[in-house]
Homo-oligomer: A and B are copies of this chain.
């Protein structure tokens, strides 16, 4: 492997000139630059990452901690890790994968050994141990997801409250006056980042302020049918459903509705708010305000890179506005409620 010395010799200049020509941190005349570039090509030169990192005191690597709980969706996980990697490459950073058993220790190690310049934390739980760790660590950390206590942390997430409000607005504008929310499994509410709870609260608050009837249900299984029955029992005139639930539940909703003689959007309008699309599966046939990794990951990486390069101070919690994607699952409310119509 050629070194910067070889290039300098071949181009007939000093190594500092080569370094400056390549980094652009100093003006270099057109023809010396040309000679240097020619030499680089001729020698197939690439700067050695470790030497550069040692001298510059930065590794150009971002660590990504991606624990894998039994109840997290691995495909969503992969999507986040990939999007972080893609976004990082746009800033000339590489990404190091830190796994579960290793999450705490890995973060510590990557900071202590200066393996990575910064850390992105994925799949954040409400009471995430990595939060306390992040406060102690010397290197910048950005969370994708919001833990309970955000004091001193930098977090990026979808604006779930906004997603809920947009969902209710869309339904209300279409004339719906009775709307149910299918939330997460009870265990998920415990463990998960606190967004499912924030979603429920905002749903109840905003629905109330809009003066519509509402109810919330928490499915016990992956089948939407019992949840649907629960909502219909408490809200016989229900014509709108908002989903912020596990993907299998959402996948089974259309069938559950069909089994009860209900059609989307003729009898019931449906919107999925703040759910992560699964690439491997048929997309949900509903209007969505997705928690899309392509939305949050680049923002998180941008913030981290700004932090690393001293371009901006820590930013607290950044909420990304969801984007409404219509699939034709919202229609004007039927005049009579579907159950009465039957």
Which A residues lie at the B interface, using CB under 8 A? Answer: 1, 44, 46-51, 53-54, 59, 61, 64, 66, 68, 73-75, 77-79, 81-82, 85-86, 89, 94-102, 109-110, 112-115, 138, 278-280
Cα A46 to Cα B49 with chains together (Å): 19
Q: Is the beta-carbon distance between A96 and B96 smaller than 8 angstroms?
A: yes
Q: Which residues of B contact A51 (CB under 8 A)?
A: 50, 54
Q: Is the beta-carbon distance between B113 and A75 smaller than 8 angstroms?
A: no
Q: Indicate how many identical chains form the complex.
A: 2
Q: Is the beta-carbon distance between B95 and A96 smaller than 8 angstroms?
A: yes
Q: Is the beta-carbon distance between A78 and B89 smaller than 8 angstroms?
A: no
If A74-B279, A77-B78 are given as contacts, then 4 extra A-B residue pairs at C-beta distance below 8 Å, sorted by A number, are A1-B138, A47-B113, A81-B81, A96-B97
Q: Is the beta-carbon distance between B50 and A114 smaller than 8 angstroms?
A: yes
Q: Which residues of B contact A53 (CB under 8 A)?
A: 49-50, 53
Cα A75 to Cα B279 with chains together (Å): 9
Nearest CB on B from A61, distance (A): 8
Q: Which residues of B contact A95 (CB under 8 A)?
A: 96-97
Least CB separation from A282: chain B residue:
B222
Q: Is the beta-carbon distance between A112 and B59 smaller than 8 angstroms?
A: no
Q: Is the beta-carbon distance between A49 and B113 smaller than 8 angstroms?
A: yes
